[in-house]
Amino acid sequence: MTSAASTSKPERLLRDGRRTEKLRNLVTRIFYPGHSKRRYIDPRPSAIPFLGGTNISQLLTTTDKWLSETEANIENVLVKPGWILVTRSGSTGIIATVPKIWAGYAISEHVIRIIPDDKKLSGSYIYAFLKTEYAQDIIKRGVFGSLTDHISPIYLGDMDVPLPKDDVEAHAIIQLVKDGESARLKAMSNLSIASKLFSERILDSDHTARTAF
């Protein structure tokens, strides 16, 4: 397997003296939980929505899988706001952040979690980098396997992240991401309310089994 270290420093990034750092050195942790047998339950107020890789880019988050809060090892699959998610198999390389409304949601082990360390580098800056065509090309080169293509946390951690030249450059990127995430959160909330309202008033149906929030 070709490592990110040998492919992620094209000369065009270094012509102006741009420094880089390994992703693993800029974050707290990169991981995905181990697989465990799960028992899905009917939706109820205390049930935990379980999302797969295809869900993380949805504005209207729907699921037919719910877990009990007493499920064994439930803590292993829960996510927290601000974490960065990367699908590691299937449609590999989908990038998303965990919005506030997903606090305490469970997400499949087929999704890698990146826990930012804002004392080192803002998670918003790292998210913006991972969304670039440049980073996506590196991720695609890390796909391996015979039956199911996937990437590993080790591979992601070995990616070289171009660092901002100064605080002004960093702030411009970070603020744009934060504005975009605020708009995303608003869109998610509005679409969820509209979907439930349509179901209740026009379709006369219970939509809670499919809408995650």
What's the pLDDT tens digit per position in 172-189?
999 999 999 999 999 999
Instruction: Find the domain containing 21 and state its range.
Output: 11-203
User: At 212, is the pLDDT very low, low, confident or very high (cuts 50, 70, 90)?
Assistant: low
**206 pLDDT exceeds 70?**
no
The domain that holds 97 is classified in CATH as 3.90.220.20
Contacts of 102 (CB under 8 A, 6+ apart): 51, 61, 79, 81, 213
For residue 119, being part of any structural domain is answered with: yes
Whole-model pTM?
0.86
For residue 130, being part of any structural domain is answered with: yes
SS percent in the chain: helix, strand, coil, step 5: 40, 20, 45
Give the model's pLDDT for residue 209.
46
| Residue 68, Cβ density class (10 Å: 0-12 exposed, 13-18 middle, ≥19 buried) | middle
For residue 3, being part of any structural domain is answered with: no
pLDDT tens-digit series, residues 54-107: 899 999 888 889 999 988 889 999 999 999 999 998 788 999 999 999 998 999
Give the model's pLDDT for residue 15.
60
| Domain total in the chain | 1
Closest among 95, 85, 86 to 151, alpha carbons compared: 86
Contacts of 62 (CB under 8 A, 6+ apart): 55, 210, 211, 212
For residue 210, being part of any structural domain is answered with: no
Overall residue count recorded for the chain in this entry: 213
